[in-house]
Structure 1
């Protein structure tokens, strides 16, 4: 076994009882940005961390160029924290990062990674962000089988796990400097639920826009909110892909 890998999902400093609560091969590895707990059978983030020790370094460089010390950032779809921790490092102890992740398994790993790296300026929230405050259903994937565990969507009904939906406006933030949303087509909903916050603070927005049928409504909403839209090159998103 490589020196940078531990098969037991404990923190790098000490083990605790929760280290036995992660089945199906969670690994702990010292990656470029942080210690990371991840599932190597995750076909995107986990595989990138396992093969290369980093995930989407182009996006991390972009965030560092626009996020400053003392900023308040909101991240919708934090996953296991592979971009949350770099954002937290960028805002520093004088800043705050709000990390929302409704997927239970991902949220568990997110909290584990924050603890492992002694990150204290992140408020992790096991809810989803959207246009209204309500209850939705999130699909539950079998973590024992290879899959893209970050690609989970919310729906109004059907089988799955219930999750609470809330709005950014309901946070009543004292400041907001940056909003990142990667939420499988719900980016426009998040904007609609943040209209007051966006009007008051005018944060920089970084939104996934990869669904053709949803792209035009998303861009129209941004324009109505007074925002100009710019696209990033695909290498920002694809730079993590293993070869």
Structure 2
């Protein structure tokens, strides 16, 4: 079960928010779902320009230049460059990468605008995908009213290397809002207490070091309790 399969299987017509859309790997297929309108947030200019080219003329996609957070304003977006090559997938408003600057790793920083998801006042949000390199908890705090009102399904990338404690705090926050959070492993749904972080969530926070546990579990899936039977039917428990 990957993010696209989950979001497709549980799709309902309405608005989908893609946070950290990058070049549109998920934005484009999600926009093709029946009755879907995707709002894609991508504060990194180069990635946003690539997505704008790919989505040109598609009325089902709205591209936003802001980052999402828990309060409006601005934040510093840090982008590591490995041997001079920008690592778009590591761009983050939650960490600076200062500890990893080296002859191989430079960091470009720029100020980006921030809005909350709640400020959009969406009436029909059906799904959220979040890939924000450590900013996931702040994004969800800024979406509390929307989550309570619309009850969207959610996919998240949560990595302890980017935000220590996130695999505890984010599921706990969602639990308080009436959500269940799980991960797929071995072809089955697994509850969060089954996540053994020393062997399933160990990876280097340094962009120049490619080291991770096997398995490395970083995709998580959340659904409102009222859709639990529907979501759980996608995989065995």
TM-score norm. by structure 2 comes to 0.67
Is it true that 1:226 corresponds to 2:165 in the alignment? no
Q: Which has the higher strand share?
A: 2
- After TM superposition, the structure 1 = structure 2 runs for residues 132-143 of structure 1, keeping only pairs within 5 Å, are 132-142=71-81
Q: What is residue 152 of structure 1 aligned with on the other side? A: 91
Q: Deviations over 1:174-195 (max 9, x none)?
A: 2111011110111111111111
**Secondary structure at 1:102 match in 2:** coil
Q: What is residue 83 of structure 1 aligned with on the other side? A: 26
**Alpha-carbon distance, 1:141 to partner:** 4.6
- After TM superposition, the structure 1 = structure 2 runs for residues 115-130 of structure 1, keeping only pairs within 5 Å, are 115=56, 118-130=57-69
**Alpha-carbon distance, 1:71 to partner:** 2.1
Q: Deviations over 1:42-93 (max 9, x none)?
A: xxxxxxxxxxxxxxx943222211123x221111100110110011011x4x
Q: What is residue 194 of structure 1 aligned with on the other side? A: 143
**Alpha-carbon distance, 1:230 to partner:** 1.2
Is it true that 1:104 corresponds to 2:45 in the alignment? yes
Q: What is residue 49 of structure 1 aligned with on the other side? A: none
Contact 1:188 1:217 in 2 (8 A): yes
**Secondary structure at 1:174 match in 2:** coil
Contact 1:99 1:123 in 2 (8 A): yes
Q: Deviations over 1:89-132 (max 9, x none)?
A: 11x4x3311100011111111111101xx422111001111111
**Secondary structure at 1:200 match in 2:** helix
TM-score norm. by structure 1 comes to 0.65
Where structure 1 has 5 or more consecutive residues not aligned to the other structure, the ranges are 1-56, 239-243
Q: What is residue 210 of structure 1 aligned with on the other side? A: 159
**Alignment counterpart, residue 115 of structure 2, candidates 152, 166, 182:** 166
Query: In the comparison of the two structures, how many residue pairs are matched?
Result: 177
Contact 2:157 2:218 in 1 (8 A): no
Give the Cα–Cα distance (whole angstroms) in 2 for the partners of residues 236 and 98 of structure 1: 27
- State which drifts further: 229-238 or 180-189: 229-238
Give the Cα–Cα distance (whole angstroms) in 2 for the partners of residues 73 and 236 of structure 1: 24
Where structure 2 has 5 or more consecutive residues not aligned to the other structure, the ranges are 99-107, 186-214, 220-237
Q: Measured at CA, do residues 119 and 232 of structure 1 come closer, stay the same or move farther in structure 2, by a change above 3 Å? A: farther
Q: Measured at CA, do residues 64 and 237 of structure 1 come closer, stay the same or move farther in structure 2, by a change above 3 Å? A: farther
Contact 1:136 1:156 in 2 (8 A): no
**Alignment counterpart, residue 73 of structure 1, candidates 5, 8, 16:** 16
Give the Cα–Cα distance (whole angstroms) in 1 for the partners of residues 217 and 63 of structure 2: 25
